[in-house]
Amino acid sequence: MTELEDGSRLAGVPDEFQRLWTPHRMAYIKAGPQPLRDECPFCEAPKHPDEERLIVARGETAFVVLNLFPYNSGHLLVCPYRHIGTYDQATPEEVAEIGALTQTGMRVLREVSRCDGFNLGMNQGEVAGAGVAAHLHQHIVPRWATDANFFPIIAKTKALPQLLGEIREAVANAWPR
């Protein structure tokens, strides 16, 4: 059987199909139509191995995880372990550690990915756009001068040049111990 017959080269052969490879979505596809409806993903993640749940660092009151649906490669989330919905419910210790982990995350991403800037933010409540409204999380989105291209504007597509596992490994390895 040739490579063309078994389809192994088709992804590299120009044709009329546009392909967007998103292997990280397979976890949600395999989970069925209602993934994590019964469990909070940010409460569930720390119960598992870091590599399995894309955790890059753990602190005393908060942890850092890659966003499973990133805006850009290296998009991190800083989450308290405690299940709280808004920033004003966080203890002073949680606020301090979320801030410290955010700063470290920015330093590590700058080193690992050579990004030019960041978007930081917290969407609190469904009305504010929070995908997981019941569990507070801070976004750290690395930005590059060249990341605003025609794809999102014309094609409504975001190109992510690295697999989540590769990014998790690079960020976790660069995280100060």
Give the C-alpha separation, 55 to 28, whole Å: 17
Among residues 24, 75, 135, 137, the one annotated as catalytic is 137
Mean pLDDT across 147-169: 70
CATH architecture of the domain covering 3-174: 2-Layer Sandwich (3.30)
Domain ranges of the chain: 3-174
137 annotated active-site: yes
Helix ranges (DSSP H) in 26-148: 26-31, 41-44, 50-53, 92-113
pLDDT in tens, 12-53: 555 555 555 566 556 555 655 555 567 899 999 999 999 999
Measure Cα distances from 92 to 22, 52, 88, 136 in Å: 38, 30, 10, 14
Q: From the CB of residue 167, how many other CB atoms can be counted at a distance below 10 Å? A: 24
* pLDDT band of 4, cuts 50, 70, 90: very low
